[in-house]
């Protein structure tokens, strides 16, 4: 959620910090601040509430702050209201001033995460003479570092490791010490943080887009590690304060991939990038027309021995799991259970070594999904991560990892990462089916060849966007929208409803069509929009019948179906067609009109498509 950036080198730090923060806006925030210094006693701190341009205006786009070492932060309020006082950075002294001002403190810091025992820590520090000016948990962490630093007359690394032992919760901490004016110290537990170097400068950030403009050479700091960052070099330490080493990783995707490239919004750009994201992911898993999962570490023997699959995820990734459940069970005949990560981690689910737990996460840092992964491993299950970010925590901690190749996704509402995850799960389902001999070689060839047509078929769906743009103008003032379907169509409905509600703020719900008569149909009234997904031939007539029941109660109907299924037009007011394909792969096509409909509806309502209210791209706190 919150965004952290840092820089130390020989250039002016503030403009670099502001640029990095602007590239992290998609994470969600309500205030921002930065702290800079250059060998002098005082640290200059500037904070602002609201959008980042307020902070930029306060600092003349950073030009008014000449210092060459600094940290910056965009805050998503958890403890304490959005305000100047609660905005980061925080200090070990008694105040940062009403708008920031010069810090009078030995330690200045920013933080992403939640410190669960901050009340206990605050009480301890109050007894030792510290005063608190904010309502944040972060202030307690910064002051605790200062307490150990002074009490034991130790260096920053030792003071930080002592603090880490006392803190419960999650954190990515970036700290500056008065006595070390050109260095930044960081610590991490369960919250993302990367460090990059280039020539005689060093950078740190919560996510790669913030520093990709300056370097592609990055370190993914491990859990419960500390790093000491100076100009052009980084040293790493474990929780005992002993120096350790980490491998450097090169980020391969183009920096331009994190730019709008002429599109009005990142979301629209990413919708149009889906053919490429799907094709790239497919190409990474297909070798000479056959599926090859060796890079993920999945052996044929392991797959043949599976007795159960658990798919664990949050949000749209959970919807991918819902679709995959139908496909895996139908093709491979393996029982599949799909769990919300936020529930899975608290349930006592028996597991055996022949259970595969698949954790799906775009960022690879989702807090609940990471916790669920750890629970699964503790219970003896094999784990597979499907993630989009190389070197992310979930990728590092899973037994096996399958990377999607969607590239950076900036819009809060996921589109291309969802589609890449979907095709990756289809590949996995087909390979499971082949190895378990539940499909023939001819069926295997047909399915793999048909998957190869999906990118071009997505492109054909995108060519019909003008009709959806027109229809969205008719529904922009809707109060309630219901998405219904059966089987795979129900899984598609779940994602369509989430897209609509999260960026248009229109109340929408997805229902298995057969459940309408079990209470939900009481909500249908005149002009309520009901969107039916009608792509599964065996379930078509039943869903059409459910839609007719809604129509008889005054509902306005839209249908999504496959080319040639013109009977739908006799039952609904507006029909969208997608190309025909094997019905197992229909979600990859039918979701596209729903993404576009949500996008254009949000635009027609005059909303901030890429940064919807109250939401963040990566949910890195529980």
Q: Tell me which residue of 402, 400, 350, 338 sits closest to 380, measured CA to CA.
A: 350
- Of 580, 557, 561, nearest to 471 by C-alpha is 557
d(C-alpha 260, C-alpha 609), whole Å:
13
Quickly tell me which residue has 């990560």 as its tokens.
341
Measured in degrees and rounded to the nearest 5, phi and psi for residue 320 equal -60, -45
Strand order in the sheet with 574-578: 507-512, 480-485, 529-534, 556-562, 574-578
Please list the residues that pair with 477 across neighbouring strands. Answer: none
Token readout for 282 is 């497919």
Partners of 337 in the beta sheet?
310
Characterize 335-354 residue by residue with b for buried, 16 or more Cβ atoms within 10 angstroms of its Cβ, and e for exposed.
Answer: ebebbbbbebbeeeeebeee
68: left (phi over 0), alpha (psi -120 to 50) or beta: alpha
Neighbours of 191 (CB within 10 A): 26
Q: What is the three-class DSSP state of 211?
A: coil
Residue 457 CB neighbours (<10 A): 20
Contact 284, 405 (CB under 8 A): yes
Choose among 399, 285, 415, 429: nearest CA to 362: 415
Find out whether 265 and 403 touch, Cβ atoms under 8 Å: no
Q: What are phi and psi of 23, to 5 degrees?
A: -85, -5
As to burial, measured by CB atoms within 10 angstroms (0-12 exposed, 13-18 middle, 19+ buried), residue 253 is middle
Output the six-digit token pair for 413: 């509402």
**Is 407 exposed, middle or buried (CB count within 10 Å of its CB: 0-12, 13-18, 19+)?**
buried
**With the C-alpha atoms ordered 370, 374, 379, 381, is the resulting torsion angle positive or negative?**
positive
Q: Which of 2, 69, 314, 550 is catalytic?
A: 2
124 noted as active-site residue: no
Of residues 47, 122, 143, 617, which has the active-site annotation?
617
Rg (the chain; Cα; Å): 26
CA-closest candidate to residue 38, choices 69, 17, 15, 7: 69
The strand pair at 243-244 and 201-205 is best described as unpaired
Query: Scanning the structure block, which residue is given the tokens 């910064």?
Result: 142
Does residue 69 have an active-site annotation? no
Q: Catalytic amino acids?
A: 2, 617
């Amino acid at each position: 959620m919150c965004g952290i950036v840092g820089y130390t080198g020989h250039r002016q730090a503030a403009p670099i910090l502001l640029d990095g923060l602007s590239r992290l806006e998609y994470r969600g925030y309500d205030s921002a601040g930065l702290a800079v210094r250059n060998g002098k006693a005082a640290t200059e701190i500037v904070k602002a509430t609201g959008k980042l341009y307020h902070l930029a205006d306060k600092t003349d786009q950073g030009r008014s702050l000449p210092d060459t070492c600094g940290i910056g932060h965009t805050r998503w309020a958890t403890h304490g209201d959005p305000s100047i006082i609660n905005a980061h950075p925080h200090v070990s002294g008694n105040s940062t001033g009403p708008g920031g001002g010069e810090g009078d403190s030995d330690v200045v810091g920013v933080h992403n995460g939640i410190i669960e025992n901050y009340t206990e820590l605050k009480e301890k520090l109050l007894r030792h003479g510290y005063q608190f000016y904010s309502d944040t948990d972060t202030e307690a962490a910064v002051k605790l570092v200062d307490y150990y630093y002074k009490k034991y007359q130790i260096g920053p690394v030792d003071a930080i490791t002592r603090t880490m032992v006392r803190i419960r919760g999650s954190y990515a901490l970036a700290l500056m010490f008065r006595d070390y004016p050109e260095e930044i110290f960081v610590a991490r537990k369960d919250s993302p943080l990367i460090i990059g170097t280039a020539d005689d400068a060093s950078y740190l950030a919560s996510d790669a887009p913030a520093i990709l403009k300056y370097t592609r050479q990055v370190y993914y700091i491990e859990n419960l590690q500390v790093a000491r960052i100076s100009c052009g070099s980084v040293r790493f330490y474990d929780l005992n304060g002993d120096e350790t080493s980490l491998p450097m990783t090169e980020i391969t995707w183009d920096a331009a991939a994190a730019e709008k490239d002429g599109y009005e919004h990142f979301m629209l750009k990413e919708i149009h990038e889906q053919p490429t994201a799907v094709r790239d992911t497919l190409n990474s898993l297909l070798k000479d027309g056959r599926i090859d999962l060796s890079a993920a570490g999945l052996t044929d023997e392991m797959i043949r021995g599976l007795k159960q699959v658990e798919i664990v995820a949050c949000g749209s990734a959970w919807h991918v799991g819902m679709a995959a459940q139908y496909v895996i069970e139908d093709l491979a005949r393996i029982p599949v259970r799909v769990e919300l990560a936020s529930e899975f981690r608290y349930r006592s689910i028996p597991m055996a070594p022949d259970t595969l737990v698949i954790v799906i996460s775009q960022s690879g840092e989702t807090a609940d999904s990471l916790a669920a992964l750890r629970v699964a491993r503790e219970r003896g299950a094999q784990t597979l991560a499907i993630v989009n970010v190389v070197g992310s925590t979930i990728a590092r901690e899973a037994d096996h990892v399958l990377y999607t190749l969607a590239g950076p996704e900036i819009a809060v509402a996921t589109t291309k990462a969802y589609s890449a995850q979907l095709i990756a799960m289809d590949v996995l389902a087909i390979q499971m089916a082949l190895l378990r001999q539940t499909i023939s070689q001819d069926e295997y060839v047909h399915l793999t060849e048909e998957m190869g047509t999906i990118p071009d078929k997505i492109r054909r769906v995108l060519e019909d966007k003008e009709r959806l743009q027109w229809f969205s103008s008719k529904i922009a003032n809707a109060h309630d929208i219901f998405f219904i379907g059966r089987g795979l169509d129900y899984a598609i409905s779940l994602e369509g409803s989430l897209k609509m509600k999260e960026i248009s703020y229109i109340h929408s719900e997805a229902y298995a069509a057969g459940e309408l008569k079990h209470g939900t149909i009481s909500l249908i009234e005149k002009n309520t929009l009901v969107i039916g997904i009608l792509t599964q031939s065996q379930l078509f007539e039943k869903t059409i019948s459910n839609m007719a029941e809604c129509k008889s109660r005054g509902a306005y109907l839209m249908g999504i179906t496959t080319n040639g299924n013109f009977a739908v037009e006799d039952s609904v007011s507006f029909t969208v067609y997608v190309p025909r394909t094997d019905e197992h792969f229909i979600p990859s096509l039918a979701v596209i009109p729903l993404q576009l409909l949500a996008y254009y509806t949000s635009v027609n309502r005059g909303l901030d498509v890429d940064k919807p209210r109250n939401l963040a791209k990566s949910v890195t706190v529980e």
